[in-house]
């Protein structure tokens, strides 16, 4: 058998070397205060997110995996042979394996991730299990990228590029940002590129809130870990016992919002600046937008994509959209 392949060294792309202190100050001096959700994913945050995916209340990951498994043949038929799989935000990539196993002789896997260590760990394991696959990691923020730093596909791969954007991470984006991302993805994937997007569906708000405020407190730890990261990387002195995790359903915006609420009037030092918090004031840390299948198809259309197929689970908790141009 061919020697077990190893991933290439990651290619640095836009947003790879973030200045955490500058990003933190920009968000914490804004009104209302906010921080970008990509800051969640330091090593501890990535581990906490992996734990979230196994929580009983957090249905998206297992539901999406089940749909991927059920629709593997449908995906393979549409994608064709020799595919280059481009994954926007590669997690521990259980779902990636489901897609790679479904595809017919995929040629190249391109994970794009802001967390280089996490990506290289997952890529090395995946390359070992798929010796015939070329793995080309890209270290960067896919929200800031407009081109894929890939030279042309390795010889002998006639396949198209299939984008894979799982987990409903697209829900982190405001609708207009999601449209802008979809337009950029069309450029990165090329005119015959396809795009497979996981989208969490609107449902009973109680079910949604439980998924973002689990009784085990793992999501609270995930949210609060952001402050620990700022203490370490932005010379801050947040006292975690003075902030509380909040998850709210904003029906008017069709999204779950995560916040960190200040439990007292306090001043926190961040990168040499004193940031004032009033009791009850929050830092808005994440949006998770929820769609109907038709609503997401309309958004995809605005981003230049047509919905070739939309698959859901029997309970219609989650959906997978297969988009073409």
- The contact set with ligand AVJ (CB under 6 A) reads 52, 60, 167-169, 171-172, 212, 219, 286, 288
For residue 293, give the 3-state DSSP assignment: helix
Query: 211 vs 297, which CB is nearer to ligand AVJ?
Result: 211
Whole-angstrom distance, CA of residue 52 vs CA of residue 167: 12
Least distance to ligand AVJ, CB of residue 118, Å: 13
Give how far Cα 131 sits from Cα of 93, 109, 207, 325, Å: 17, 12, 41, 31
218: which 2 tokens? 């793992």
Radius of gyration (C-alpha) of the chain in whole angstroms: 20
Least distance to ligand AVJ, CB of residue 19, Å: 22
| Residue 105 exposed, middle or buried by CB count within 10 Å (0-12, 13-18, 19+) | exposed
Query: 86 vs 153, which CB is nearer to ligand AVJ?
Result: 86
Query: 65 vs 288, which CB is nearer to ligand AVJ?
Result: 288
Whole-angstrom distance, CA of residue 300 vs CA of residue 298: 5
Least distance to ligand AVJ, CB of residue 41, Å: 9
Least distance to ligand AVJ, CB of residue 286, Å: 6
Least distance to ligand AVJ, CB of residue 171, Å: 6
Cβ–Cβ under 8 Å, residues 274 and 268: yes
Least distance to ligand AVJ, CB of residue 315, Å: 17
What are the strands of the beta sheet with 255-262, ordered from one edge?
A: 243-250, 255-262, 282-289
112: which 2 tokens? 């794009």
Query: 42 vs 286, which CB is nearer to ligand AVJ?
Result: 286
For residue 134, give the 3-state DSSP assignment: strand
Query: 136 vs 259, which CB is nearer to ligand AVJ?
Result: 259
Give how far Cα 277 sits from Cα of 24, 35, 233, 260, 268, Å: 15, 15, 20, 11, 8
Query: 88 vs 212, which CB is nearer to ligand AVJ?
Result: 212
Query: 212 vs 322, which CB is nearer to ligand AVJ?
Result: 212
Q: Which residues are within 8 A (CB) of 208 and not within 5 positions of it... i.e. 6 or more apart? A: 249, 256, 290
Name the helix (H) or strand (E) containing 179.
helix 175-189
Whole-angstrom distance, CA of residue 155 vs CA of residue 215: 51
Least distance to ligand AVJ, CB of residue 221, Å: 11
Query: 113 vs 297, which CB is nearer to ligand AVJ?
Result: 113
CB nearest ligand AVJ: which residue? Answer: 288
């Amino acid at each position: 058998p061919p020697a077990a392949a190893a991933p290439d060294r990651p290619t640095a792309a836009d947003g790879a070397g973030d200045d955490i202190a500058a990003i933190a100050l920009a968000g914490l001096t804004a009104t209302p205060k906010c921080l970008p959700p990509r800051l969640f994913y330091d090593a501890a945050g990535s581990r906490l997110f992996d734990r979230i995916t196994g929580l009983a209340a957090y249905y998206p990951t297992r539901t999406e995996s089940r749909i991927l498994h059920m629709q593997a043949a449908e995906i393979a038929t549409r994608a064709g042979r020799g595919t280059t799989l481009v994954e926007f935000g590669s997690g521990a990539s259980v779902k990636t394996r489901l897609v790679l196993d479904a595809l017919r002789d995929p040629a190249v896997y391109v994970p794009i991730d802001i967390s280089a260590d996490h990506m290289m760990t997952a890529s090395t394991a995946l390359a070992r299990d798929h010796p015939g696959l070329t793995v080309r990691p890209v270290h960067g923020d896919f929200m800031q990228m407009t081109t894929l730093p890939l030279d042309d596909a390795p010889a002998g791969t006639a396949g198209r590029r299939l984008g894979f954007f799982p987990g409903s991470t697209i829900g982190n984006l405001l609708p207009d940002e999601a449209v802008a991302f979809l337009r950029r993805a069309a450029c990165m994937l090329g005119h015959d590129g396809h795009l497979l997007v996981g989208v969490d569906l609107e449902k009973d708000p109680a079910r949604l809130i439980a998924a973002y405020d689990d009784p085990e407190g793992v999501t609270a730890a995930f949210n609060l870990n952001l402050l620990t990261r700022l203490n370490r990387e932005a010379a801050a002195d947040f006292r975690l016992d003075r902030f509380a995790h909040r998850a709210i359903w904003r029906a008017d915006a069709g999204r779950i919002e995560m916040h960190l609420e200040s439990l007292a009037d306090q001043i926190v030092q961040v990168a040499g600046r004193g940031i004032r918090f009033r009791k009850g004031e929050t830092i808005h840390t994440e949006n998770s937008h929820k769609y109907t299948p038709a609503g997401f198809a309309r958004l995809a259309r605005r981003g230049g994509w047509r919905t070739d197929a939309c698959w859901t689970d029997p309970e219609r908790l989650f959906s997978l959209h297969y988009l073409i141009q």
